[in-house]
Amino acid sequence: MTSTSTETQRARPHAGPAWMVLSLACACQFMVILDSAIVNVALPSIDRDLGFKTTGLAWVVNGYLLTFAGFMLLGGRAADLFGHRRMLTAGLLLFSASSLVGGLATAAQVLVAARITQGMGAAMLAPATLAVINTSFTEDHARARAFGAWSAAGGVGGMAGAVAGGALTTGLSWRWVFLINVPIGAVLIVVAMMSLTGRRTGRRESLDLIGAVTGTAGLAALIYGVMQSADHDWTSTLVVGSATAGLLLLVVFTMVEARFATQPLMPLRLFRIRGVAAGNGMLLLFGGIAIAMWYFTSLFLQNVLGYGALRAGLGQTPAAVTFMVIARWAAGLLPRTGARPLVLAGCGALLAGFGWLSQTHAHSGYLTSMLGPTLLIAVGIGLTFPTLMAATTAEVPEGDAGIIGGLAVTASQAGGSIGLAVLATAASARTQMKAGGSSPAAALAAGYDRVFLMAAGLGLAIAVVSLLLPRRSH
């Protein structure tokens, strides 16, 4: 009897109740995504206090995003090799410590270094939370609901960033944008130690160092090159050189993983699983949709309708609530319908919402022209995002849960970085074209309308790729 009980405990990836494990994963995801957006509103105050150079301020945002996306695959494989609890708690420690350093920074260089380190902590956290869900919730209905909650937590974290950043910066100081993570991180570390076991779910393997270096450097260089397109022409040496170097390193990484690595960082055999290949392709496209919705609608509210940052964040709150509700509802449907019908329905809502939103203009009102389409887009995102995450990580061996989680988050983050650069360039070109014969607000509105039409095209592309998914879940 004792032996059986012990064996059962060893088979469990969590020591605490399932609700505590899910709450931990959702809280970590909320915090990671929150920090992608919360700093934006505080940037002017940070600049006044620390005196950044002209281009340096952008690295308060880009430094975090670059290391977050670049180190994700490494963080995911490390979670498989060294244990989910170990990597999750280490990620929380690094994230919280760098937040403390950032909040106390008295020099611009210190804050940028803290943000870069914070991104590394996030890259350890995000895939570990996905791996914890994937290995803790093995029954279809429970796993689908867990992914719905996890997705909703990330979406609300992104939306809450503008509101929380504005409130903290206005009411206290920009430093609390970072310092708020310290007590939250401490609580989550305690919960992680209580709710997760310390056992390793992966095989006892050594880390693929060559793969880790080429993969991480390749992703970082590619994303860095794309980010630089915001301040430099697409044909500039910096953009082309960085992106080309990144692509070449990723080619080397693929060759190493396919031919030379005995214990690869990214086992290419996993792409033979239909959901992994199709799901990550759709998540790459979905990153552009998320940027179009949350980032560019916020700019429309501020730059065209004249809202302040805090009011713009509040204006997006109905869509965030709708997304959260629909994501949980879609998660309950997924085991019965399979992924494909939900993705197709979500893409239909995305097409309709972005098509409607592309008709807005400088004299549009929030209630008459913005609220309806953003709610419709939120329905589409709520149907597609948790479904894609669940489809991408389903049928994956337990020992590979971390790397697949890292790959899924990398795909969506890389898609967001590339999407931001491409959509921003398209918006700028359209705005400049209209600037001569229109008011500044009308020219900006025309640029954003082009972005919304392009996002509708991304929704259509996701619908096409979704046909590769199975009709029904197993």
Alpha-carbon span 359 to 114, nearest angstrom: 42
pLDDT at residue 14 above 70? no
CA dihedral 121, 126, 131, 134 (to 10 degrees): 160
Q: Do 379 and 467 have their domain in common?
A: yes
| Cα distances (Å, whole numbers) of residue 418 to 39, 96, 252, 388, 453 | 20, 28, 21, 19, 17
State pLDDT tens for residues 308-330: 766 777 788 888 888 888 987 88
Kindly state whether residues 237 and 334 are assigned to the same domain.
no
Give, in order, the Cα–Cα distances in Å from 81 to each of 102, 122, 201. 30, 18, 8
**How many independent structural domains does the chain possess?**
3
pLDDT in tens, 363-378: 888 888 889 999 999 9
Residue 469 pLDDT more than 80?
no
Residue 331 neighbours by CB under 8 Å, 6+ apart = 144, 145, 146, 147, 148, 149, 151, 386, 390
Which pLDDT value is given to residue 470? 66
C-alpha closest to that of 387 among 463, 441, 438, 297: 463
Q: Distance from CA of residue 293 to its chain's centroid?
A: 14
Domain holding 230, by residue range, is 208-264
What is the DSSP track for 181-248? HHHHHHHHHHHHHHHB-----S-S----HHHHHHHHHHHHHHHHHHHHTTTS-TTSHHHHHHHHHHHH
Query: Rounded CA gap, 373 and 351, in Å?
Result: 10
* Cβ proximity of 157 and 31 under 8 Å: yes
Token pair listed for 304: 């065209």
Q: What is the mean pLDDT of residues 97-125?
A: 90
Question: Regarding predicted confidence, which is higher, 258 or 161?
Answer: 258
Q: Select from 248, 264, 280 the last residue of a domain.
A: 264
- Which residues does 398 contact at the CB level (< 8 Å), separation at least 6? 134, 135, 201, 202
pLDDT at 9: 39
Q: Is the pLDDT of residue 380 over 90?
A: yes
- Report, as an integer, the average pLDDT of 394-407: 71
Do 137 and 13 touch, CB atoms closer than 8 A?
no
Least confident of 261-265, 333-337, 441-445: 261-265
Please, what is the end-to-end C-alpha distance for the chain in angstroms?
33
Q: Are 187 and 241 in a shared domain?
A: no
pLDDT for residue 10 is more than 50: no
Residues 240 and 160 in one domain: no
Range with the lowest mean pLDDT among 2-6, 243-247, 449-453? Answer: 2-6
pLDDT at residue 159 in the model:
67
- Find out whether 417 and 65 touch, Cβ atoms under 8 Å: yes
Say yes or no to pLDDT of 6 above 60: no
Strand ranges (E), 12-90: none
Asked if residue 385 has pLDDT above 60, the reply is yes
pLDDT at position 474 over 50: no
End-of-domain residue from the set 228, 246, 264:
264
Per residue in 18-59, pLDDT (tens digit) is 778 888 888 888 888 777 777 776 777 787 888 776 556 767
Q: What is the pLDDT of residues 117-168, one digit of tens each?
A: 998 898 888 888 877 877 777 676 777 777 777 777 776 776 677 677 767 7
Judgement on whether residues 126 and 142 belong to the same structural domain of the protein:
yes
209-225 pLDDT tens trace: 787 788 888 888 888 88
Mean pLDDT, rounded, for 188-217: 73
Is residue 64 domain-shared with residue 172, that is, in the same domain? Answer: yes
Q: What percent of the chain has pLDDT over 70?
A: 87
pTM for this structure?
A: 0.76
pLDDT value of residue 355:
92
Last residue of a domain, one of 264, 284, 310: 264
Residues 15, 81, single domain; the answer is yes
Percent of the chain with pLDDT over 90: 15
Mean pLDDT to the nearest integer, 64-74: 79
Together in a domain, 380 and 279? yes
Residue 433 sits in a domain of what CATH number?
A: 1.20.1250.20
pLDDT at residue number 345: 93
Query: What pLDDT is stored for residue 348 in this prediction?
Result: 94
The lowest-confidence range among 22-36, 259-273, 322-336, 429-443 is 259-273
Asked if pLDDT for residue 242 goes beyond 60, the answer is yes
- Give the pLDDT of residue 204: 55
pLDDT of 402 higher than 80: no
My answer on whether 9 and 112 are in the same domain is yes
pLDDT band, residue 16 (cuts 50/70/90): low
Rounded to whole angstroms, the Cα distance separating 258 from 243 reads 22
Pick from 449, 313, 302, 459: nearest CA to 379:
459
More confident residue, 185 or 7: 185
Query: Are both 319 and 453 inside the same structural domain?
Result: yes
pLDDT of residue 433: 85
Residue 50 to residue 110: CA distance in whole angstroms:
10
Please give the average per-residue pLDDT across 71-94, as a whole number: 82
Angle at 459 between CA 457 and CA 460, to 5 degrees: 65
The DSSP element (H or E) to which 271 belongs, if any, is none
**Highest mean pLDDT: which range of 60-64, 190-194, 400-404:** 190-194
Lowest-pLDDT range, 151-165, 172-186, 301-315, 446-460?
Answer: 151-165
Q: In the structure, what pLDDT confidence band is assigned to residue 456 with cuts at 50, 70 and 90? A: very high
Same domain, 201 and 248: no
- Is residue 350 domain-shared with residue 381, that is, in the same domain? yes
Q: Identify the CA nearest to 180 among candidates 119, 238, 113, 96.
A: 96
Task: For residue 269, give the H/E element and its range.
Answer: none
CB 72 within 8 A of CB 199: no
